[in-house]
Amino acid sequence: MSDTFDGISMLSAIAVLTGLGIGFGALLGVVSERFKREDNPLVEQIDALLPQTQCGQCGYPGCRPYAEAINQGDALNKCPPGGEATILALADLLGREPEPLDGEAQSEATVAFIREAECIGCTKCIQACPVDAIIGAAKLMHTVIEDECTGCDLCLDPCPVDCIDMLPRSAPITQWQPVTTPAHNVIASDRPNTLGGVHVERL
Amino acid sequence: MSSAFDFPGGIYPPQRKQRSNQAALIEAPLPSRVALPLLQHSGKPATPCVTSGDLVKVGSVIAKREGLISCDLHASISGTVMEVTATQVVIESDGKDTWQRLPAMDWHSVEPYQLLSRLNESGIVGLGGAGFPTHIKARVMEQHAIHTLVINAAECEPYITADDLTLRSYPAEVLEGAQIMAKLCAAERIIIGIEDNKPDAIEALQNALTPSLPIPIELSIIATRYPSGGERQLIKKLLNVNVPSDGLPADVGVLCHNPGTLLAILHAVRDGQPLVSRVVTLTGEAIEHPGNRWIRLGTSVREVLEQAGINLSGPNQSKLHQVIQGGPMMGTPLLTLDSPVTKLTNCLIAATLEELPPAPTEVPCIRCGECESVCPVALLPQQLHWYARAKDDDKLERYHLFDCIECGACSYVCPSHIPLVADYREAKSRIRIQRIETAKAEHARHRFEFRQARLAREEAEKKARREARQAQNRRSPTQASSSSEAIDLRGLRIAHAAAKASVKKAEKTLARVAQQDPNQSLDDLEMQLATAQENLRAAELQLAQAREQQPSKESP
């Protein structure tokens, strides 16, 4: 008697759980189709970490395409403007190992500057600029809006008369960063020898 | 009312106010030359509106405010403009001291907008040390309801007695200035918060308090403790109200003003005199005649100190070690005595080596917790110290670094002599610059996206024109070619709907943000909207073209 009862209860349990499984599975399936997102939120996050210079030094036409490529598994170390900090931030986000930078790190932020006396007004740099930071018209001299320039170098190559220089970006005095001396070596053995220049060796 | 409320922490450094509060407040002699920096306030520097060679009078505008938070600048002596650089305007005196005043105003009868425009033109900033433009603070009632105006006369830092002497010399004028500001922001009452180490100023105020004043004024004497003059600390002490961490006193209906600022407001309104001079405390052991002086803005610190009796050269040279601008706790040592007195200079301490000795060498933190018990904002200075040295910016923000008022109480009590506040200042400026960089990158991204959208739209338009031309040339539509191309009409329609939705979304965000804070820059949001519109235009073109090519399939 108890055996049959157990058998029925077991069967009913299996049936209920299977039913629940199928039901929720179907629900999840419908929901994932119904509320499908076109864009990948991870790509957005990667894109937010990139410096947005749109310079193409990574081999992709802009930061967003590179973000998509990273999401597909491309290396993290192809962004020279971002440098070490960007690689570390990306590695942290994606849980990958940070790699050394592929290429030369930029020492300081730069902006393009057009030597206006030499500009012939060919508009080639205007077409190359990824952020519309160059203004001018055909046969009229061009100039760079410093605040909008990302320092990507993309306008240098197209210029037929080489009249574009990369200059250090000027910063307002309110954004001055104090130069701080690193903390002293506070561990006694790290300090420079003080006893009259004689190094006291441990015997 | 002696207050029962209290803020956490605080310290009791030696006062040393005796040295400068004995002499009466006097006018300093006219300087022969002034250098007026264009940035004497928080916000953007003013733009010069004079050129070298121009003749100016005292009170002539020499630089106009630029941007949202900025302040006008006026000539502080009459004479000739000698030099205009990117950072300052230099004026050589003609010795006549001729004034150019604005018309006098009776503040009882004029409209609020007239008072506001007068403040706009007078170049007044908060004279307590932060230098926030007063005309912006006066417009606070457009966004917040103010019930109490606090006169911050605590002056808690050692050495400084500028507010003390201002109140002793002009008690009625300061109270009248407070009435103007209270009327302007529709406050119901005024509270003066003053520390009990200024008995003369308290007496002067008590004599000046008459029941005939239209808005009731209450005098609240608080115990001397550093930093009770901090805006948030004083509000907590007087009203037992906590100002929220990322908010302003105006969020809790309180407005704070310094007595010196209120006096300047009265002078600007009643006499039409813009801010061209201020009260500066000259003190320190290296000075022979300490005291408070009315000093014209732009006078060089060297000249001011020499008039106060300091010997910078010769046989009986004073034992000057360093000059500190501001108080000993929060001030900054001057690198050169040629820097000018600005709107923010409330005190100059010419200290000898014995008076303010340099801090001993820093040794490791022993985690004693002294700093934590004196912090008036109830932060954890020790943790902040570790994270600041490790440049762990996320942790710093989580531990509310930006709530630090840089009062220096933690550095003062630290037994290891760690310059904690210097660490915090550096970390703050680093994080601030990082935020600016992030905003810049975000801005570049929007511009890039806009460009991409524009190029796509132009491409679509070009294609549409080409198709139209071809269709006209052919006249006989060759159905075969178009039907063989598998045009994804459904996909295009979805893309079109998505583009429409994103335009609507961008419009909504823009409208919402613009309503919330009209002063904010909306460039990026406008750019996003333009990008969405470009995308929509391109999608429309593509869709129209596809429909033209497949007229049969379009109608179901």
Nearest chain B residue (CA) to A52: B441
Tokens of B81: 């403009």
Question: Which chain B residues have a beta carbon less than 8 Å from that of A175?
Answer: 432-433, 436
pLDDT at position B197: 92
Residue B63 phi, psi (nearest 5) = -150, 140
Whether the predicted pLDDT of B553 surpasses 50: no
Spell out the SS3 assignment of A46-88. Answer: HHHHCCCCCCCCCCCCCHHHHHHHHHCCCCCCCCCCCHHHHHH
d(CA A77, CA B155): 54
Neighbours of A22 (CB within 10 A): 10
Nearest chain B residue (CA) to A176: B429
Name the minimum distance, in Å, from the CA of B430 to any CA of chain A.
Answer: 7
Name the minimum distance, in Å, from the CA of B243 to any CA of chain A.
Answer: 27
Mean local confidence (pLDDT), B473-490: 59
Question: Which chain A residues have a beta carbon less than 8 Å from that of B432?
Answer: 175
Question: Which chain A residues have a beta carbon less than 8 Å from that of B361?
Answer: 184
| A178 contacts B441? CB cut-off 8 A | no
Of A130, A180, A184, the CB nearest to B448: A130
pLDDT at position B483: 46
Of A38, A52, A184, the CB nearest to B448: A52
Q: Is B430 on the interface with A (CB under 8 A)?
A: yes
B37 three-class SS: strand
| A62 contacts B444? CB cut-off 8 A | no
Q: Is B441 on the interface with A (CB under 8 A)?
A: yes
Percentage of chain A exceeding pLDDT 70: 82
- Per the model's pLDDT, the better-predicted residue between B471 and B278 turns out to be B278
Best mutation target among A44, A45, A52, A189 (most B Cβ atoms within 10 Å) is A52
- Per the model's pLDDT, the better-predicted residue between B228 and B314 turns out to be B228
Given a contact cutoff of 8 angstroms between Cβ atoms, the answer to whether B162 and B331 are in contact is no
pLDDT at position A3: 62
Nearest C-alpha neighbor of B148 from the set B282, B254, B224: B254
Tokens of B228: 């009770």
Whether the predicted pLDDT of B58 surpasses 60: yes
| A53 contacts B444? CB cut-off 8 A | yes
d(CA A33, CA A31): 5
Name the minimum distance, in Å, from the CA of B251 to any CA of chain A.
Answer: 27
Q: What amino acid occupies position B163?
A: D
Tokens of B234: 């004083």
Place of tokens 């109830």: B378
Name the minimum distance, in Å, from the CA of B19 to any CA of chain A.
Answer: 34
Strands B347-351 and B277-283, how do they pair? parallel
What global pTM score does this model have? 0.81
Given a contact cutoff of 8 angstroms between Cβ atoms, the answer to whether B20 and B291 are in contact is yes
pLDDT at position A33: 86
List CB contacts of B326: < 8 A, sequence separation 6 or more: B129, B157, B332, B344, B345, B346, B347
| A186 contacts B362? CB cut-off 8 A | yes
List CB contacts of B475: < 8 A, sequence separation 6 or more: none
Provide the mean pLDDT of chain A.
Answer: 82
Best mutation target among A45, A54, A127, A152 (most B Cβ atoms within 10 Å) is A54
pLDDT at position B118: 92
Q: Is B425 on the interface with A (CB under 8 A)?
A: yes
Question: Which chain A residues have a beta carbon less than 8 Å from that of B445?
Answer: 47, 52, 63-64
Which residues 261-280 of chain B have a CB within 8 Å of chain A? none
Q: Is the peptide bond before B227 cis (omega within 30 degrees of 0)?
A: yes
Of B426, B433, B444, the CB nearest to A52: B444
Mean local confidence (pLDDT), B488-505: 84
How many helices, marked H, and strands, marked E, lie in chain A? 5, 4
Question: Which chain B residues have a beta carbon less than 8 Å from that of A152?
Answer: none
What digits encode the pLDDT tens for the residues B401-453? 999 999 999 999 999 999 999 999 989 988 998 898 888 888 898 899 899 89
Name the minimum distance, in Å, from the CA of B524 to any CA of chain A.
Answer: 12
Q: What is the dihedral sign for C-alpha A173, A174, A175, A180?
A: positive
∠ CA B532-B434-A61, rounded to 5°? 45
Given a contact cutoff of 8 angstroms between Cβ atoms, the answer to whether B374 and B409 are in contact is yes
Tokens of A72: 């597909």
Place of tokens 């990507």: A152
| Environment class of B302 (CB within 10 Å of its CB; exposed 0-12, middle 13-18, buried 19+) | middle
Nearest C-alpha neighbor of B102 from the set B60, B136, B144, B142: B60
Q: Is B87 on the interface with A (CB under 8 A)?
A: yes
pLDDT at position B416: 92
The 10 Å CB-count burial string (b at 16+, else e) for B2-26 is ebeeebebbbebebbbebbbeeebe
Name the minimum distance, in Å, from the CA of B364 to any CA of chain A.
Answer: 6
List CB contacts of B215: < 8 A, sequence separation 6 or more: B179, B182, B183, B187, B188, B189, B190
DSSP code for B144: S
| A133 contacts B429? CB cut-off 8 A | no
Q: Is B521 on the interface with A (CB under 8 A)?
A: no
| B451 contacts A47? CB cut-off 8 A | no
Local confidence band at B556 (pLDDT 50, 70, 90 cut-offs): very low
| B451 contacts A53? CB cut-off 8 A | no
Of A133, A175, A184, the CB nearest to B362: A184
Nearest chain B residue (CA) to A37: B498
Q: Which helix (H) or strand (E) holds B256?
A: strand B254-257
Percentage of chain B exceeding pLDDT 90: 53
Name the minimum distance, in Å, from the CA of A184 to any CA of chain B.
Answer: 8
Question: Which chain B residues have a beta carbon less than 8 Å from that of A47?
Answer: 445
Q: What amino acid occupies position A3?
A: D
Name the minimum distance, in Å, from the CA of A28 to any CA of chain B.
Answer: 23
pLDDT at position A198: 39
Mean local confidence (pLDDT), A168-187: 65
Mean local confidence (pLDDT), B496-505: 87
Local confidence band at B481 (pLDDT 50, 70, 90 cut-offs): very low
Nearest C-alpha neighbor of B85 from the set B44, B50, B42: B50
**Secondary structure (DSSP) of B167-198:** HHH-HHHHHHHHHHHHHHTT-SEEEEEEETT-
Question: Which chain B residues have a beta carbon less than 8 Å from that of A51?
Answer: 441
Which residues 29-48 of chain B have a CB within 8 Å of chain A? 39
Rg of the Cα atoms in chain B? 31
Q: Which helix (H) or strand (E) holds A155?
A: none
Local confidence band at B191 (pLDDT 50, 70, 90 cut-offs): very high
Whether the predicted pLDDT of B69 surpasses 80: yes
Interface list for chain A against chain B, based on CB atoms closer than 8 Å: 38, 47, 50-54, 62-64, 130-133, 148, 150, 173-178, 180, 183-184, 186
| A vs B: CB pairs below 8 A | 55
Local confidence band at B485 (pLDDT 50, 70, 90 cut-offs): low
Distance spanning both ends of chain A, measured CA to CA? 89
Name the minimum distance, in Å, from the CA of B206 to any CA of chain A.
Answer: 42
B226, β-bridge pairs: B11
Name the minimum distance, in Å, from the CA of A52 to any CA of chain B.
Answer: 5
Of B39, B432, B448, the CB nearest to A131: B448
What digits encode the pLDDT tens for the residues B231-260? 999 999 999 999 998 888 999 999 999 999
Strands B47-48 and B33-37, how do they pair? unpaired
